[in-house]
Structure 1
Amino acid sequence: MANPNPEPAPLKLLKGRGEGRDSGGRPVKPDPGFRRVAPEPPFWLEGEALDEWQRVVPELARLDILKEGDAATLATYCEMWQTFVEATATLKREGMFIDARQGTLAHPAVAIQRNAAREVRGIAAHFGLTPSAEQALARGAADDDEGNPFD
């Protein structure tokens, strides 16, 4: 079954085994040739979302994987991060449970936090921002392949 969310060629190459090859040794098709430039944050991005943009975009730009068209996906990632932070703050302030007619229930912010975390993880993986993706990039960026018995 094909991967429904393939990685961009630069990420495949960073994880790869050699010139123009992915981690499995297969040739990597070049990207369609988009102009690689970090997008500017949308004018409406603010607070924790803008802070997250300013944390991640310089690193992603350094990897040369960003293009102007990534602005919407990055903004969504940053907004979901802000939603996660706000839900977490609400839970710390108000607690995990509320009293209702039906009895004690989970605070609505629990579901908001959980859904935002899921979205953050999903989008982050597309940009190589998860710990496992970072480790794969670090392995791919290593210059010495002497320890790999399969090369």
Structure 2
Amino acid sequence: MADRKAAEVHYLHGNPGNRPQGGKAKSLTGRPLPPADLEGEAFAEWSRIVSFLDKAGRIESIDHAALVVYCASWAAFNDARQALAKYGTLVEGRDGLLVKNPAAQIMKDSAAIMLNYGSKFGFTPRDRQNLGITSDPGEGDSFEKELAGL
């Protein structure tokens, strides 16, 4: 019988068979630090996401760049959402005619980036299932509760 790999080795190799993995993963390199110029809504999202991923043992310092992209996209999405709420879906164009608010395209582009990068960290139930991240029975989906509550 072959020797079993440590949980850390399984985590590094991923879960190509999408089988449930036993035990909680442990971060090998620790949480990344936010860039000095990250501020406002992007910094708030960084703090929220990194804090939770660190508790779950699902973050490494190498994740820095992906988290910066995700958090910057969240800030752009949020700014565009607020602009859309303030000015509406149609705005006056340069010819005086009504045109689609450019904030709608910014929201769409930012959402696509967030969904792409968020899937790497297991930010939706389907992503967690694909990554083999499970919660303890009886406590519900703690990952989702944490993401919603932070």
Q: Same fold (TM over 0.5)?
A: yes
Q: Does residue 1:125 correspond to 2:119, yes or no? A: yes
Q: TM-score, normalised by structure 2?
A: 0.68
Q: Percent identity?
A: 28
Q: How far apart are residue 104 of structure 1 and its match?
A: 1.9
Larger helix percent? 2
Measured on the aligned residues, the alpha-carbon RMSD in Å equals: 3.1
What SS does the aligned partner of 2:91 have? strand
Structure 1 residue aligned with 2:62 = 69
Structure 1 residue aligned with 2:134 = 140
Paired amino acid for 1:130: T
Aligned length in residues = 123
Q: How far apart are residue 136 of structure 1 and its match?
A: 5.8
Deviations 1:84-125 (A, max 9, x none): 000000011111111222732101111011100111111000
CA distance in structure 2 between the aligned counterparts of 1:129 and 1:117, rounded to whole angstroms:
13
| Equivalent residue in structure 2 for 1:110, among 104, 108, 112 | 104
Unmatched 5+ stretches in structure 1: 1-7, 21-33, 145-151
Answer whether contact 1:50 1:78 (CA < 8 A) is retained: yes
Structure 2 residue aligned with 1:16 = 19
CA distance in structure 2 between the aligned counterparts of 1:95 and 1:47, rounded to whole angstroms:
24
Unmatched 5+ stretches in structure 2: 1-9, 139-150
Q: How far apart are residue 143 of structure 1 and its match?
A: 6.2
CA distance in structure 1 between the aligned counterparts of 2:58 and 2:44, rounded to whole angstroms:
20
CA distance in structure 2 between the aligned counterparts of 1:17 and 1:43, rounded to whole angstroms:
38
CA distance in structure 2 between the aligned counterparts of 1:63 and 1:12, rounded to whole angstroms:
17
CA distance in structure 1 between the aligned counterparts of 2:87 and 2:19, rounded to whole angstroms:
47
